[in-house]
Structure 1
Amino acid sequence: MGQDVDRRTFSRRDRQRYRTKVQRCLDTLAIMLREHPFARDEPMTGLEVELNLVDHDLSPSLAGSAVLDAIGSSQFQSELGRWNLELNLPPRPLPGDEWRHLERHLLDELAVARAKAVDCGAQLAVIGILPTLERRHLVTEALSPDQRYATLNEQMLSARGEPIRLDIAGDDPSGRHGVEPEHLQADFDSIAPEAACTSMQLHLQVHPDSFAGYWNAAQCLAGVQLAVGSNSPFLLGSRLWAETRIPLFEQSCDVRTPELRNQGVRPRVWFGERWITSILDLFSENGRYFPALMPVTEDDDPMAELEAGHVPALNELRLHNGTIWRWNRPVYDVADGVPHVRVENRVLPAGPTVVDMVANALFFYGLLRTLVEAERPLWSMMSFEAAEENFITAARHGLDGPLYWPGTGWIRPDELVLRKLLPQAADGLARWGVEGEVTDRFLSIIEQRCVTRRTGAGWQLDTVAALEEGGADRPAALHGMLSRYLEWSAANEPVHTWPVPK
């Protein structure tokens, strides 16, 4: 939700007007999808990375504003927490060696950010959840000063009517760490826990005619993405899920009371509930199921703009969509006067390294192309409930949780990737026109991650376990792990090659 919001209070009539305007935008979009030309150029990709700042003690550093000022680049923006930054890279096509250039661009931007952070007494951490966070850090005062975040905080807490509750039970199904499951329960008087989630967001611009296929395919792949890309096993000192960011984000943005949850009211962080046939299905669900959080209404009439030959911005539809956090989210936007739609993939955590993140992205884009162009769509052989179960299983267990895959049955994620999905990803990237050397470089990282069974989450868990076996308590072990993580992450060595202390 990047749109500016300059108000903090809203009346009943504001909410009524906003609902009407969202529907007006939806009606306008329906006409556009039938009659108006959308971008048909070479599909463009985009990448956003959320970052953390830590101080010399490796605790969160609230120097976000100072670091942003020091960087002085519009590609870096504030995020929810004062210890967060977000990097938005310009869109680029997939073919050729574009993503090798993207790797270098991302490395250069992070190098600048690291240097400016040091000037401000901080360090950069590219990780799914900062493992040195403590409850005392997750308070209202730690939220960024931007008006939209203050408004979002007030509106979400008002809608909920009680503190934000985290209740996450962990486990270790592999048994490799030989310890009992841990359980985190805590209440918070702000949405600051949401700022603990730092992700990598992947965008793919597609034509509206093919959007449904790409969204359905992305839903099918969400579990596999998490299994091979998990990087968030610790929260507030507790060892929880392989990708604890998933339940953390769901619970920290949950404006439902327990009673509303029991009634089956849908959550605002949502996997969804069905396969779709049009992007309109998702935007329609947004208006049908979710009340406004920030009902800011513009004076324009999108239908009149369309009839006058202009491309409407659909501001209310876009703002509303930005307050519903689907793991694969639809995006409507206008660039150079031409409308386009995108699939925004929000499944993956940030980190561990640039090369790991680029490998995750190309694995995803390659598989998307193959699944969308398959003779028989995967989602026609797989229930939506199975896709969601895969997503939750992978978030809990990483590479240790078996997933369901049509034509194969239940299979461990690393075996599924090695036996089936890597060749399909390579084929998809070839269809996108990606150079073979680029495909080999990055998909080999996914391959070796599966061969060694070493993800970011696995490395964090093994390192903390080793340090605790050496006599460190949990806080010291987390500190020691993060110190090593920062060193290896900056070196851009793939996480499957990182050593674990003896």
Structure 2
Amino acid sequence: MGKEVEAQSYTREERQRYREKVHQNLDVFERMLTQAHFEAERPLTGLEIELNLVDERNDPAFANAEVLEAIDDPTYQTELARFNIELNVAPRPLPGDSALSLEQHLRDSLNRAEEKAQAVGARIVPVGILPTIRPEHFEGEWISRNNRYTALNDSIFFARGEDIVIDIEGPTGERVHTFADSIAPESACTSVQLHLQVSPGDFADHWNAAQAISGPQVALAANSPFFFGRRLHAETRIELFKQATDTRPIELKNQGVRPRVFFGERWITSIFDLFEENVRYFPSLLAESTDEDPIAVLDSGGTPTLAELNLHNGTVYRWNRPIYDIADGKPHVRVENRVLPAGPTILDVLANAAFYYGVVHQLVREDRPVWTRLSFAAARANFDAAARGGLESRIYWPGLGEVGADELVLRHLLPMAAKGLADWGVAPSVRDRYLEVIEGRCVTGQNGATWQTETVARLEERGADRAEALRQMLGRYVELMHSNEPVHTWELP
């Protein structure tokens, strides 16, 4: 979750003071980029995994408070809805074989958490959208008991002034068209967030590289084909998240006002570009101010928290988000990659991470970077196409033209990922284990989205209605998830 806030609503005076503090923070951050020493000696990686809770019928279990109390581990935190929790992984260097120990640590941690969750009547499921979620599940007390979430919900609807429209159509004509009087549908979207700590001077290249490969990432990892019982996009989470947090009524959309879920508009030359755009284009949703004088802190040799700027930044949902943070008294910046869905297995999650880190590492070292040959509009079109079609999507890439996502990965990006990881000092055993998973998905044509879709289709052919087919599919998904065998090896019923 983002940083908790004290209030659920704000006065006009509080909002005005907050805006002034955000602008002051931005000015101080600009000074820091030229004057301060940022921690960047070792590029650290980090990981967050959002998780769903289900009951014995594979319906959402609205019990995150009880589950978190039972787990009693600070690495597990609350999320937007009462059927969501989040697992946070401490930053660590990537070289060597540390990823293998991380994989075992995550499996052990989730096994312990699962045992505790079952004791209070819930099970833990990492999946992009919980397939069994239905509109009636949001009719009761669905939101987590945190001021931040209530304040976000109220601020979004105050800014919008009317109900949110959710309108998504799948490849076979199945469609969800509904209205929401809260941001509840956003809680259906659970993701994996990958963090990469870099120097401020290297940030722009890493962000540009992350943007360029967002489409292939989504195509490979798609795991969200069902929402409200309908088969929609391969990675429906992308469009659903965009619509469910939209503060713009139709008139503002027609004027070209930017959405809060924002791919961006251009390649950047500095991390400051992104923070400055966030302040310039997006009104505040939360307005919590601190007593910190960041100018005085910086002038005295300290490191300002820039709390207001960070709070605002956390309510602009870029798919690759800039992060400013402090660790051990030293400032650092990170690229937070937010395009991936949760699941299916920890092995799949770490394979997705290895692919991302390897490709980005290699792209930023090319003599002629891909973002100098790929238009930003094409990168955005790749991202949208990949979300709709997954592994079956076609993606434009400089030098190759428009190719299938699987072909692009096998012919071009997978060798690049292997070289990038090798250059980073990652052990061959790690590269082989995780990149073979990526190769397997491309060769078999099976990722989480295709497995879910085909499993439901086969169950329906045997007489199950859609609701029952989704429950049975999710039950099988949970079973296979615990095996930690990669999704491309999962058998169909």
TM-score (norm: length of structure 1): 0.97
Match of 1:187 in 2: 179
Match of 1:174 in 2: none
Match of 2:124 in 1: 124
Aligned 8 A contact 1:140 1:189 in 2 = no
Q: Within 5 Å, which residues of 2 pair with 1:284-363?
A: 284-363=276-355
Aligned 8 A contact 1:48 1:88 in 2 = yes
Match of 1:104 in 2: 104
Identity %: 56
Match of 1:270 in 2: 262
Kindly tell me the number of residue pairs found equivalent between the two proteins. 493
Match of 2:399 in 1: 407
Counterparts of 2:40 and 2:350, CA distance in 1: 25
Shift of 1:152: 1.1
Residues 64-108 of structure 1 deviation map (CA, whole Å, 9 limit, x = unaligned)? 101100111110000000000000011110000011111111101
Match of 1:157 in 2: 157
Counterparts of 2:443 and 2:251, CA distance in 1: 45
Match of 1:375 in 2: 367
Match of 1:451 in 2: 443
SS at match of 1:141: coil
Residues 158-209 of structure 1 deviation map (CA, whole Å, 9 limit, x = unaligned)? 11111122100111xxxxxxxx321111111111111100000000000000
Match of 1:220 in 2: 212
Residues 260-316 of structure 1 deviation map (CA, whole Å, 9 limit, x = unaligned)? 111100000000000000000000001100001011111211111100111000000
Aligned 8 A contact 2:218 2:339 in 1 = yes
SS at match of 1:142: coil
Counterparts of 1:161 and 1:62, CA distance in 2: 28
Match of 1:51 in 2: 51
Alignment-mate amino acid for residue 330 of structure 1: P
Alignment-mate amino acid for residue 371 of structure 2: W
Counterparts of 1:165 and 1:312, CA distance in 2: 40
SS at match of 2:315: coil
Q: Within 5 Å, which residues of 2 pair with 1:60-139?
A: 60-139=60-139
Aligned 8 A contact 2:221 2:340 in 1 = yes
Counterparts of 1:343 and 1:81, CA distance in 2: 26
Determine whether 1:148 maps to 2:148. Answer: yes
Shift of 1:436: 0.6
Alignment-mate amino acid for residue 453 of structure 2: L
Residues 432-466 of structure 1 deviation map (CA, whole Å, 9 limit, x = unaligned)? 11001110111000001100010100000110111
Residues 126-148 of structure 1 deviation map (CA, whole Å, 9 limit, x = unaligned)? 10000000101124610001111
Counterparts of 2:254 and 2:481, CA distance in 1: 42
Alignment-mate amino acid for residue 192 of structure 2: M
Counterparts of 1:228 and 1:481, CA distance in 2: 21
Counterparts of 1:56 and 1:10, CA distance in 2: 41
Match of 2:431 in 1: 439
Shift of 1:236: 0.4
SS at match of 1:295: coil
Shift of 1:112: 1.1
Match of 1:35 in 2: 35
SS at match of 2:213: helix
SS at match of 2:258: coil
Aligned 8 A contact 2:45 2:91 in 1 = yes
Counterparts of 2:173 and 2:428, CA distance in 1: 44
Match of 1:427 in 2: 419
Alignment-mate amino acid for residue 98 of structure 1: S
Determine whether 1:472 maps to 2:464. Answer: yes
Q: Please list every run of 5 or more consecutive structure 2 residues that lacks an aligned counterpart in the other structure.
A: none
Determine whether 1:246 maps to 2:238. Answer: yes
Determine whether 1:257 maps to 2:240. Answer: no
Counterparts of 1:123 and 1:397, CA distance in 2: 30
Q: Please list every run of 5 or more consecutive structure 1 residues that lacks an aligned counterpart in the other structure.
A: 172-179
Alignment-mate amino acid for residue 399 of structure 1: L
Shift of 1:17: 1.4
Match of 2:481 in 1: 489
Aligned 8 A contact 1:139 1:189 in 2 = no
Aligned 8 A contact 1:127 1:198 in 2 = yes
Alignment-mate amino acid for residue 313 of structure 1: T
Aligned 8 A contact 2:68 2:77 in 1 = yes
Shift of 1:9: 2.2
Off by >2 Å, runs of 4+ in structure 1: none
Aligned-residue CA RMSD in angstroms?
A: 0.8
Shift of 1:120: 0.6
SS at match of 1:272: coil
Structure 1, 230-239 or 290-299: larger mean CA deviation? 290-299
Aligned 8 A contact 1:139 1:188 in 2 = no
Counterparts of 2:258 and 2:209, CA distance in 1: 22
Q: Within 5 Å, which residues of 2 pair with 1:169-188?
A: 169-171=169-171, 180-188=172-180
Residues 230-262 of structure 1 deviation map (CA, whole Å, 9 limit, x = unaligned)? 000000000000000001100011011111111
Alignment-mate amino acid for residue 79 of structure 1: E
Aligned 8 A contact 1:139 1:192 in 2 = no
SS at match of 1:443: helix
TM-score (norm: length of structure 2): 0.99
Alignment-mate amino acid for residue 124 of structure 2: L
Aligned 8 A contact 1:169 1:184 in 2 = yes
SS at match of 2:197: strand
Match of 1:392 in 2: 384
Residues 28-52 of structure 1 deviation map (CA, whole Å, 9 limit, x = unaligned)? 0111101111002211100000000
Determine whether 1:25 maps to 2:25. Answer: yes
